[in-house]
Amino acid sequence: MSTETLKKEILRGGQFLVKETKCEDVFTLEDLSEEQKMMRESTKEFVDRELWAHWERFEQKDYAFTEETMRKAGELGLLSVAVPESYGGMGMGFVSTMLVCDYISGATGSFSTAFGAHTGIGTMPITLYGTEEQKQKYVPKLASGEWFGAYCLTEPGAGSDANSGKTKAVLSEDGKHYNISGQKMWISNAGFCSVFIVFARIEDDKNITGFIVENDASNGISLGDEEKKLGIHSSSTRQVFFSETKVPVENMLSERGSGFKIAMNALNVGRIKLAAACLDAQRRIVDEATKYANERIQFKTPIMNFGAIKAKIADMTTNVYVDESASYRAAKNIEDRIAMRLADGNTHQEAELKGVEEYAIECSILKVAVSEHVQQTTDEGVQIFGGMGFSADTPMESAWRDARIARIYEGTNEINRMLAVGMLVKKAMKGHVDLLGPATAVGEELMGIPSFDTPDFSELFAEEKDLLKRVKKVFLMVAGSAVQKFGAKLEEHQQLMMAASDILIQAYLAESAILRTEKNAKRFGEKAQDTQIAMSKLYLYRATEIVIQKGKEAIVSFTEGDEQRMMLMGLKRFTKYTNNPNVIALRIQIADKVAADNGYTFD
Ligand SMILES: Cc1cc2nc3c(=O)[nH]c(=O)nc-3n(C[C@H](O)[C@H](O)[C@H](O)COP(=O)(O)OP(=O)(O)OC[C@H]3O[C@@H](n4cnc5c(N)ncnc54)[C@H](O)[C@@H]3O)c2cc1C
């Protein structure tokens, strides 16, 4: 495909809101190549054999076992999927990288955290920003699992405000090295890593600088005790202290003062991969909960036969399906964007960086949505297990605790919610996404008389797609008016930003599921997709309810009088169904299929 054709077809990040996406243009799990399917199978086999079979050891804080298993993953090549071939990696595309992150998460959050910290934030800053010498020296060892990486950004006084760290890097008199001193905390893999990516400030620079620091106790590096954590018990998390640690000048990453940019770009990739790492974790919960509900007898019948349990199974299954749809849709957009940039003559580094940065909005959306879904899913998993769900002898208990961290690291969900809207507004200001035109059109529509024609909703998803278009208008109406009213000061209205973000998130997720199902219904037939159709409809209903609630909160917070009445009427009009879906029937339909299959069978 020519670069020009690709450019035309791939929507820019955030454009999903104002441009229609055809179902043929979204990538779905059903589009995986044979090679990708094989990769998925070998990851699953690894998880069943090396992780799931030993999940109790992960619960017993067996850090050495995590390290040993990471080495086995390295031997199988699982740590090198994203690494270019020239540095000992497999050089596979972004979708394949996502696949491995996804399926490696199926047994325990401890391992997927160790895996993500090493392959993502522990290795990526070098592959993306390193010099040729740095890459040759470090990346092959990291890709093979001979060495492990860790990422030292957070400090006791610098968490979400990541650029405010106090760690110092002082140039030696002979100009040959920096002396790094400071305290980092919450460092994943600290207990067994060989290389740290460390962010420190040189003199009084506005921005921090990144360094590659080899772990050597004789060079002023010491570790705090393992943190006592709520979950991910076998993921090593420790403080790291640097005291006059000598780092050769050639170990600086990119340029002086570019550390904050490196840290943020590493996190963009980290965010979408974290979403992936919450997928198979959820599938496993659905599988276990389904098996349990099919077997557990109360009142002389399997509890699966109770509507209350069916509702849970249906919502949990729908979460996974929708999350898969959105995650792989965005992953392929990133992969295509990278390919387009490579074809335009960008280096691998530039192409990867810009490709991911383009979809930073989607990365934040996915991080928030999927991390919250994994929590809902595990919570209902515990509930289905009843008292046994509260017992540490069942995997539900640990899954519930492990899920909690996903809302905190890689940027908290509050920060990511605000980033998603903030970045979109910035893109609009720069002219990268035309929000102003569509927002003005929505404003005009509000003043006009609504059409009283009876629409033809006979085709699959005709009504849902019409509703989706209108749900997007709610975002344009709310965010457009808020930007007009507050301008750059919008950032100070966090609750409004969060509400707008929720509308944005729901629009992206609901649309992704509908497009995936529509594409599959066209090629495999509607009958073959009847459960997926039900899940897409159920999710859109749930999404619309959130949009109504958040839209109202937002509108009332900054409008009054006629303007408020008009916008509330708009909200009602934009979120109205002509034919209300029977969500109870949809949930029964979904749960019956999952019960019959004894687990999740839609991936
Ligand atoms: C198990 C674990 C592993 C980790 N691994 C690593 C690692 O490998 N490397 C690393 O560098 N870090 C790591 N972290 C740190 C993690 O990234 C931070 O905990 C996270 O960024 C939040 O920072 P904080 O804990 O200081 O919370 P704070 O920033 O103090 O936030 C506290 C609360 O305030 C909210 N808040 C903060 N600022 C704002 C704002 N401007 N507006 C609205 N709300 C705000 C937050 O959303 C949060 O709810 C890890 C943390 C944990 C718990």
Query: With 0-12 CB in 10 A as exposed, 13-18 as middle and 19+ as buried, what is 487?
Result: exposed
Ligand 1: nearest atom to the Cα of 160: 29
Backbone conformation region of residue 165, classed left if phi is above 0, alpha if psi is from -120 to 50, else beta: beta
Please report the pLDDT score of residue 32 as a whole number: 98
DSSP for 460-522, please give it: TTHHHHHHHHHHHHHHHHHHHHHHHHHGGGGGG-HHHHHHHHHHHHHHHHHHHHHHHHHHHHH
CB 338 within 8 A of CB 94: yes
Instruction: Please give the Cα distance from 78 to 146 (Å, whole number).
Output: 13
Crossing angle of helices 132-144 and 63-75, rounded to 10°: 110
Query: With 0-12 CB in 10 A as exposed, 13-18 as middle and 19+ as buried, what is 393?
Result: exposed
Instruction: Please give the Cα distance from 327 to 367 (Å, whole number).
Output: 9
Please report the pLDDT score of residue 267 as a whole number: 86
Please report the pLDDT score of residue 23 as a whole number: 97
Pairing, β 195-202 against β 168-171: parallel
With a cut of 50, list the residues of the chain below it in pLDDT: none
Best substitution site from 364, 412, 496 to test ligand 1's pocket, by max atoms within 8 Å of Cβ? 412
Please report the pLDDT score of residue 449 as a whole number: 82
Please report the pLDDT score of residue 34 as a whole number: 97
Q: Which residues, judged by CB distance below 6 Å to any ligand atom, belong to the binding site of ligand 1?
A: 117, 151-154, 159-160, 186-188, 229, 237, 405, 408-409, 412, 414-415, 494
List beta partners, residue 214: 195
CB 124 within 8 A of CB 271: no
Please report the pLDDT score of residue 577 as a whole number: 96
Closest CA to 365 of 99, 14, 29: 14
Closest CA to 113 of 405, 415, 414, 416: 405
- Counted residue by residue, the chain has a size of 603
For the stretch 275-308, pLDDT in tens is: 999 999 999 999 999 999 999 999 999 999 999 9
Query: With 0-12 CB in 10 A as exposed, 13-18 as middle and 19+ as buried, what is 376?
Result: middle
Pairing, β 195-202 against β 149-152: parallel
Give, using CA atoms, the residue closest to atom 48 of ligand 1: 412
What DSSP designation does 451 have?
Answer: P
Best substitution site from 232, 239, 408 to test ligand 1's pocket, by max atoms within 8 Å of Cβ? 408
